[in-house]
Amino acid sequence: MRAIKVLERILATIPIMFGVAIMVFIFMRLTPGDPVDIMMGAGGAVGAGEIEQLRAEFHLDEPIHIQLWYFLRDAARGDLGNSYIKKRPTMELIAERLPATIELALGALFFALIIAFPIGILSAVKQNSWLDRFSMAGAFLGISMPAFWLGIVLILIFSVKLRWLPVQGRISYDVNLQEITGLYVVDSILTRNWPALKDALRHLILPSIALGAAVAAIVARVLRSSMLETLRADYVTLARAKGAPEHRVVLRHALRNALIPTVTVIGLQVGVLLGGNMIVETVFGWPGLGRLVVDAIFNRDFPLVQASVMVYAFTFVIANLIVDILYTYLNPKITL
């Protein structure tokens, strides 16, 4: 039953992906700036014939609806075209970059959750204590601090001044790692390459914090307020009346129900972590999808932008699907 529902949901992403791709397709062509001009601008003086030839090659000389038709026809066959600039299949370019983005998003999520859970739970249990006030002030700071600024500060402190952690990149040049999944932490564990694991983790820490800080703050606040609510619920009083020790009352009876609204918010934040990390990737020289897309937009590399957006839509929907599945476990009243 559940498996069928999950499959349905995955299949339902296909029209969504095409929908966003068509929108991006049209918007990109309506905004000023011509890809061939931009390419030629970089290459110096060229003849008019060459420009025409490139236009024809990319079908840019044809009306927009014909171009769209070509795009949809190829996409339906699974071909999302070649990048104008890099002259390689867009899916290949994305596949190279996507693992880095996912790894950073997971790192940031992990950081956010290990910070947010203890803080959210403790500040609800000790409402109005100094710990609560201090944490919520911190959360306010976490939400209002721009990620690039936090990233730069972290680099200045931990990389430049203290020299504890690397400044840039995913892994050091002198470390060898056999790629399997493209997630370096996972790959180094799979290949039992402990030096690589250490190196990859050291690279992952600062960008994860920079990207995850705001998420940690948001999740901590939501968790705190839902815990405040569930801690007052009748079923929590019953748990105490049954003789349950306080840690069980809080971590089982109250937390389990407080997770329901919290997981919804985490699900939304996962989308932000996957799709909103261009700035952090830039600050930390992280070779992820975000920077690829930003470059593609500036270069008017239409196929690459379209394909990336489709991938974003797909990962976003999958992340939400995972959250929804989790949700049905937490809330027995809901089925998928």
* Residue ranges in contact with other proteins by CB under 8 A: 233-235, 237-245, 253, 256-257, 330-333
Minimum Å distance from CB 220 to other proteins?
A: 21
Which one, 44 or 243, has the nearer CB to other proteins?
243
Rounded CA separation 296/279 (Å)? 15
Phi, psi of 89 (to 5 degrees): -55, 135
Cβ of residue 234: shortest distance to other proteins, in angstroms?
Answer: 4
Least Cβ distance, residue 259 to other proteins (angstroms):
9
Of the candidates 274, 169, 166, the residue with the CA atom closest to the CA atom of residue 215: 274
Give me the least distance between CB of 196 and other proteins, in Å please. Answer: 37
| CB nearer to other proteins: pick between 149 and 235 | 235
Nearest distance, CB of residue 145 and other proteins, angstroms = 34
Select 47 or 243, whichever has its Cβ closest to other proteins.
Answer: 243
What are the angstrom distances between the C-alpha of 325 and each of 7, 87, 260, 267, 336? 12, 40, 12, 11, 7
Q: Is 34 helix (H, G, I), strand (E, B) or coil?
A: coil
CA nearest 149: which of 220, 213, 201?
A: 213
In total, the chain counts a number of residues equal to: 336
Closest CA to 302 of 96, 84, 95: 84
Vertex 169: Cα angle to 92 and 307 (nearest 5): 25
Quick one: 26 or 330, whose CB is closer to other proteins? Answer: 330
Closer residue to other proteins in complex, CB, 316/327: 327
- Shortest distance, position 332 Cβ to other proteins, whole Å: 4
Which C-beta is closer to other proteins: that of 172 or that of 328? 328
- The answer to whether the CB of 291 falls within 8 A of the CB of 2 is no
